[in-house]
């Protein structure tokens, strides 16, 4: 596939990294020559220096023969203009990053399509949805639903009280006595393991599990992880992510939103119905203690400043917050923050890149999720008639070692894949995969 990426920022760079492993022809456009030189020294791609909203630059980047044009510069207007022009001069499909909620309203879909933009990506909305999935269960480090909630992939960090520590996967299956869940990956230190039956679980492992959605709470309990009901939430930062998260959570629990800008705080208070908006920096131990941080089920730091988010989460955790979530946009800080003890890290740019990546896979994919904690990705494939994956039962199929099938939805019913499973046309299949074998996996479903 020939792909043009407009914008050499963090979203564009991460996309280039993901796509570079799948043998696509990539051309990147940016006005910053230094950024382009740095990217081209790390990845196998071509670069064009100039404005993505210039017709001459788009032509130089071979846009008229492009399969997919992705505009992810920092400027929404540039992305929209570039996508419209790219479609007019021949690009088969266009995607634009936006930061205005008005554009993604369903009633405006037809207008956007008529302009020549096939898809819009709003990173803040995607990040907020990620946070909302994560706070539902305090014991989870990750939670993603597939097939309208029929299957759930979630992550649990094992502690020394977990009864499944020091058991291998065969023993875990025997221990649980359930066929409704499957461990599909283990994150151990800096390594991601696609496990087999003899792999043994260890303390501090982050394990990824695919389960029937109705079985999630049962699996959490069996794993020995504490899962508290969400009653009190504190959000630091009146960003778009913070406000959207508060708007959804205030319906079911008590929410405090802390914003240091008083004028902005008044506007947010008018927008939210049940949330208590507090004017403060929110980063002192005295303030957090006075606001009952010790009784807070989830502390969510989304100020837009990675350093403040990390430090405030560490302080909140020290003072008794049950679960901490930090928005960390500086990718250099992700590994450091993870090792400091923050429960969950959210990076809206990586989430946006994952969403866009699904459009580049050479098979029908309903969903793609990438993780800050792991190198692996999880994809939801649709099985097509006569695809290779339907020819044999799974344990007779040459499935790459770096990937594993977790769950399947067939005719509205979900079940966990086993060796004797035979996939059928229109099945929806959740696959956990290392990036380097995704292209091989997608060929089986094509």
Contact 238, 255 (CB under 8 A): no
Give 84's pLDDT tier (boundaries 50, 70, 90): very high
Nearest 5°: the CA angle 303, 308, 310 is 105
φ and ψ of 39, to 5 deg: -65, -45
- Would you call 213 helix, strand, or coil by DSSP? helix
Residue with tokens 């992810």: 72
C-beta of residue 444 within 8 angstroms of C-beta of residue 389? yes
CA 286, CA 281: separation in Å to the nearest integer? 12
- pLDDT tens by residue, 343-364: 888 888 888 888 888 788 766 7
pLDDT for 363: 62
Tell me: pLDDT of 277 over 90.
yes
pLDDT in tens, 237-264: 999 999 999 999 998 899 999 999 999 9
126 pLDDT tier (thresholds 50, 70, 90): confident
Supply the pLDDT for residue 356.
Answer: 87
Q: What digits encode the pLDDT tens for the residues 402-423? A: 899 989 999 989 998 888 899 9
Four-point Cα dihedral 188, 192, 196, 202, nearest 10? 0
Give the residue, 369 or 200, on which the prediction is more confident: 200
- pLDDT of residue 229 exceeding 80, the answer is no
Is residue 286 within 8 Å of 274, Cβ to Cβ?
Answer: no
Q: Distance between CA 207 and CA 199 in Å, rounded? A: 12
- 29-38, 192-201, 216-225, 227-236: range with highest mean pLDDT: 29-38
Based on its alpha-carbon atoms, the radius of gyration of the chain, rounded to whole angstroms, reads 22
> What residues does 142 pair with on adjacent strands?
155
Structural domains in the chain plus CATH codes:
2-121 (3.40.50.720), 229-321 (3.40.50.720), 356-445 (3.30.70.1450)
Contact 432, 386 (CB under 8 A): no
Q: Which two tokens stand for residue 141?
A: 């480090």
d(CA 202, CA 186): 10
Which range is least confidently modeled, 127-131, 138-142, 169-173?
Answer: 138-142
The pLDDT confidence band at residue 192, using thresholds 50, 70 and 90, is: confident
Helix (DSSP H) and strand (DSSP E) numbers for the chain: 15, 22
pLDDT of residue 373: 63
Highest mean pLDDT among 84-88, 122-126, 151-155: 84-88
Statement: residue 67 has pLDDT above 90: yes
Q: What is the pLDDT of residue 137?
A: 65
Residue 144 has a pLDDT of 80
What region, left, alpha or beta, does residue 37 occupy, with left being phi > 0 and alpha being psi -120 to 50 degrees? alpha
HEC profile for 412-441?
CEEEECCCCCCCCCCCEEEEEECHHHHHHH
CB 3 within 8 A of CB 359: no
**Torsion region of 90: left, alpha or beta (phi above 0 gives left; psi -120 to 50 gives alpha):** left
pLDDT of residue 274: 94
Joined together, the tokens standing for residue 186 give 């283990």
Q: What is the per-residue pLDDT for 162?
A: 83
166 DSSP 8-state letter: T
Residue 374 pLDDT: 66
How many CA atoms does the CB half-sphere of 161 hold within 13 Å?
5
Q: Do the bridges between strand 191-193 and strand 181-188 make them parallel or antiparallel, or are there none, so unpaired? A: antiparallel
Q: What is the pLDDT of residue 409?
A: 93
Check: pTM over 0.75? Answer yes or no: yes
In tens, the pLDDT along 6-65 reads: 999 989 998 888 888 777 899 999 999 999 999 999 999 999 999 999 999 999 999 899
The Cα–Cα gap between 258 and 169 comes to: 44
- For residue 377, the SS3 value is strand
Percent of the chain with pLDDT over 70: 96
Give the tens place of pLDDT for each residue, 283-308.
999 999 999 999 999 999 999 899 99
Contact between 258 and 317 under an 8 Å Cβ cutoff? The reply is no
* pLDDT averaged over every residue in the chain: 88
* Cα distances (Å, whole numbers) of residue 231 to 110, 251, 267, 415: 40, 11, 25, 32
Q: Are 306 and 335 in contact (CB under 8 A)?
A: no
* Cα end-to-end distance, the chain, whole Å: 14
The 10 Å CB-count burial string (b at 16+, else e) for 82-101 is: bbbbbbeeebebbbbbbeee
Query: What is the band of 157 on the pLDDT scale with cuts at 50, 70, 90?
Result: confident
The DSSP result for 92-115, as a single string, is: S-EEEE---GGGGSGGGHHHHHHH
Neighbours of 134 (CB within 10 A): 23
pLDDT in tens, 365-416: 887 777 766 667 888 999 988 899 999 999 888 888 889 998 999 998 999 8
Q: Which one-letter DSSP state was computed for residue 200?
A: B
């Amino acid at each position: 596939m020939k792909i043009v990426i407009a914008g050499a920022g963090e979203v564009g760079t991460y996309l280039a990294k993901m796509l570079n492993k799948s043998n696509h022809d990539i051309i990147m456009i940016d006005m910053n020559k230094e950024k382009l030189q740095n990217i081209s020294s790390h990845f196998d791609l071509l670069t064009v220096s100039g404005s993505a909203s210039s017709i001459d630059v788009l032509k130089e980047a071979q846009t008229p023969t492009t399969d997919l044009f992705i505009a992810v510069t920092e400027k929404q207007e540039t992305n929209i203009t570039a996508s419209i022009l790219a479609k007019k001069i021949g690009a088969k499909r266009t995607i634009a990053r936006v930061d205005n909620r008005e554009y993604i309203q369903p009633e405006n879909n037809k207008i956007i399509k008529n302009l020549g933009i096939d898809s819009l990506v709003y990173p803040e909305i995607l990040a907020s949805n990620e946070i909302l999935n994560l706070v539902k269960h305090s014991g989870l480090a990750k939670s993603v639903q597939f097939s309208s909630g029929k299957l759930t992939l979630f992550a649990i960090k094992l502690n020394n009280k977990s009864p499944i520590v020091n058991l291998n996967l065969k023993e875990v299956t025997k221990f649980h006595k359930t066929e409704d869940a499957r461990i599909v990956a283990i994150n151990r230190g800096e390594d991601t393991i696609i496990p087999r039956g003899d792999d043994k679980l260890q303390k501090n492992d982050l394990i990824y599990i695919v389960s029937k959605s109705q079985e999630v709470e049962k699996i959490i309990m069996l794993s020995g992880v504490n899962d508290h009901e969400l009653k009190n939430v504190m959000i630091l930062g009146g960003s778009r992510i913070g406000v959207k998260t508060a708007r959804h959570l205030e319906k079911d629990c008590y929410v405090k939103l802390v914003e240091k800008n008083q004028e902005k705080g008044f506007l947010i208070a008018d927008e939210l119905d049940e949330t208590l908006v507090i004017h403060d920096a929110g980063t002192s131990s005295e303030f957090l203690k006075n606001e009952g941080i010790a009784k807070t089920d989830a502390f969510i730091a989304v100020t837009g400043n990675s350093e403040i988010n990390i430090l405030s989460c560490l302080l909140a955790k020290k003072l008794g917050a049950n679960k901490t979530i930090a928005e960390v946009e500086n990718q250099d800080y992700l590994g450091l923050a993870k090792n400091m003890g923050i429960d969950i890290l959210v990076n809206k740019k990586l989430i946006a890149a994952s969403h866009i990546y699904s459009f580049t896979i050479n098979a029908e994919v309903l969903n793609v999720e990438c993780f800050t904690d792991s190198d692996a990705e999880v994809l939801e494939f649709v099985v097509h008639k006569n695809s290779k994956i339907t020819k044999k039962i799974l344990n007779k199929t040459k499935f790459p070692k770096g990937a594993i099938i977790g769950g399947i939805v067939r005719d509205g019913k979900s079940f966990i894949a086993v060796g004797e499973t035979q996939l059928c046309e229109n099945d929806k299949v959740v696959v956990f995969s290392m990036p380097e074998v995704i292209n091989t996996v997608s060929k089986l479903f094509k």
